Structure 1
Amino acid sequence: MTGTSGFSRWANDHRKWLFASPAMAFVVVLIIFPVAWTAYLSLTDAEGSVRADKEFVGAQNYLDVLGDTARFWPAVWRTVQFTGVVLLVEVVLGMAIALLLWRPFRGEKWVRVAILMPLVATPVAVGMMWRLIFDPNIGIANQVIGWFGIPEQPWLAGPGSALWTTMLIDIWQWTPMVVLILLAGLTSLSEEPQEAALIDGASGWQRFRFITLPLMMPTVIVAILLRGIDALKTFDILYATKGKGGGSYNEVETLNVYAYGLAFDYNEYGTSSTVLIIFFLIIIGSMWALTSRRKAEY
């Protein structure tokens, strides 16, 4: 009885850790262990098979990767370019659509359903659908622009246009998510500042610039944080539209596609793990920068 009561007292004193321990164990097993194993592989010359004998090479993989100006640094630039462009367009377009949906209007529910439809499909299905639409021979995209006298475009087939076309696909699918986040923020705003500004004769742009946007900045930063990290990790749309290596000329090869090719096309697990660790650090740094900005807004 004394032992039981002693354990009960100890469990009561440490209940917050006992209740949190299953979640902490889940994090360790499913997050920390894979990252630690990848970091270990990045310090070895593992190739062919992860079960094969491997030697510890230290930072040599990192020196080789960071010195690769043919594939690694172009992949970094494409990743930054892809993320920056889609994030800018999606936030601006998402804000515009959210503002249009902010006030009630006739047919509002149907419009919201139509806007959210791209989120229903998986990215792979979306990529395959747009691959058919942009096909130079059977795709409808060139037929539509031909009605307006615009010459046929290579779209996904062109080395210079493929990355921009995949950006368009990403914008089409993920702008609705930004709309949802920003619309939730708009509906939570108080009406008093808007009414006071309207009485003072402020124009619609002035109300947006000096009232709505400053009040919405915490929500905007959340949208940028969530969508930015997701855009950095984009893989499925790129792989579904261009395949191995991001195309014949690596035209849409971002860091994700590059690391995947190293691991599953060439079985260079050590080098692939090095790219993933560098990519992981880039994502962590981006999260830290955006989170710090969000705290500063408060």
Structure 2
Amino acid sequence: MSGLGSALAAAPEAAPSPPVSNQRRRTYWIFILPAVLTVGAVILFPWLFTLWMSVNEWKIGESRHFVGLANYLRLAGDARFMDALWHTLVYTALSVAAPVGLGLAAALVFNERLPMRGLLRGIFVMPMMATPVAIALVWTMMFNPQLGVLNYLLSLIGIGPWEWVYHPASVIPSLVLVETWQWTPLVMLIVLGGLATVPAEPYESADIDGASGWQKFRYITLPMIAPFLLLAAMIRTVDALKSFDIIYAITQGGPGTASETINLYLYSVAFAYYDVGYGSAIAVVFFVLIVVLSLVMLHLRQRSKWNEIGEGR
């Protein structure tokens, strides 16, 4: 032991690692700077410029005047903006609820061992691959009160013709029908991924206990795929809020302003009336609305079973 102690005492102490030189630290910025400049130019600068424009009265071709919060105060008394806000919320709520519900049902069906299940899944997801303008043109022809195939199908079961997107009371549900047709497959794919992670043991125990199919879905399947349903709802919420192309191509916000959402009203103010100051204020409020709804959805997701399982609770 004494020989070992002498050897250890005689061994030289490990030299501390030399500090990183200032020159080496400076070289880091060579690699970071392009990304910082890109983010600033593409994301940060446009939003700062939008905020700056929103506090100015500025119409294209006229002089600019600083007005502070006047544009935001003007929104509260703008009946057309309030109608557009209501249309946006209704359209978003329906465009989330319908695809999530139908996507869940489709996922449960396609999760079974059906003949040619792969082919049927491929056919079912085809609407996702179509371009929005092409979808809008096809559905516009289908919605035609005289020549559309939808009214022809209704006549086969004794239902009179509907006006679809040509009547203020039915225009938003009709647009939601298009949105549901296109994006239900996305929800189905997300839920199918969740169903693939559900273990078989709980179902085997439920079968031994004599549980019904509804009880197995209610107490096993639904809690385990709830995080995936919330994820699908988050994606659909953000996508429905910013929906523009389908609505504009089919109705342009009509009839009148019955289907005008915030996106379409913003487009009209900024690019039809050339009031970029007021339009910028609408854009800022719309951005805040999206952020608030996204935070609510994230909060719900954090409280889901997915996080509880991950934290070992």
Work out whether the TM-score is over 0.5. Answer: yes
What are the within-5 Å matches in structure 2 for residues 213-228 of structure 1? 213-228=222-237
- Partner of 1:292, secondary structure, is helix
Letter of the structure 1 residue corresponding to residue 262 of structure 2: L
1:10 to 9, 13, 25: 25
Distance apart, 1:28 and its partner CA: 2.2
Letter of the structure 2 residue corresponding to residue 189 of structure 1: V
Distance apart, 1:143 and its partner CA: 1.4
Partner of 1:263: 270
Matched, 1:167 2:176: yes
2:78, 2:251 → 1: CA distance? 23
Distance apart, 1:104 and its partner CA: 2.4
Partner of 1:207: 216
Deviations 1:94-134 (A, max 9, x none): 11100111122211011101110101111121111100111
Distance 1:198 1:28, change over 3 A: farther
Give the unaligned 5+ runs of structure 1.
none
Computing the radius of gyration over CA atoms, which structure comes out larger, 1 or 2? 2
Matched, 1:295 2:307: no
What are the within-5 Å matches in structure 2 for residues 43-82 of structure 1? 43-49=55-61, 52-69=62-79, 71-82=80-91
1:155, 1:42 → 2: CA distance? 37
Q: State the TM-score, normalizing by the size of structure 1.
A: 0.91
Distance apart, 1:88 and its partner CA: 0.8
Matched, 1:154 2:166: no
What are the within-5 Å matches in structure 2 for residues 1-298 of structure 1? 6=21, 9-10=24-25, 22-49=34-61, 52-69=62-79, 71-243=80-252, 246-297=253-304, 298=307
**Contact 2:140–2:250 (8 Å) recurs in 1:** yes
Distance apart, 1:192 and its partner CA: 1.6
Letter of the structure 2 residue corresponding to residue 68 of structure 1: D
Distance apart, 1:27 and its partner CA: 2.6
Distance apart, 1:7 and its partner CA: 5.9
1:19, 1:97 → 2: CA distance? 47
1:291, 1:19 → 2: CA distance? 33
Aligned sequence identity (%): 37
Distance apart, 1:11 and its partner CA: 6.7
**Contact 2:95–2:236 (8 Å) recurs in 1:** no
Letter of the structure 1 residue corresponding to residue 56 of structure 2: T
- Partner of 2:161, secondary structure, is coil
Distance apart, 1:92 and its partner CA: 0.8
Distance 1:99 1:8, change over 3 A: farther
2:24, 2:198 → 1: CA distance? 47
2:205, 2:58 → 1: CA distance? 66
1:22, 1:183 → 2: CA distance? 40
- Partner of 2:65, secondary structure, is coil
Q: State the TM-score, normalizing by the size of structure 2.
A: 0.86
Give the unaligned 5+ runs of structure 2.
1-19, 308-313
Runs of 4 or more, structure 1, over 6 Å off, are none
Partner of 2:6: none
**Contact 2:167–2:255 (8 Å) recurs in 1:** no
What number of residue pairs does the alignment pair up? 286
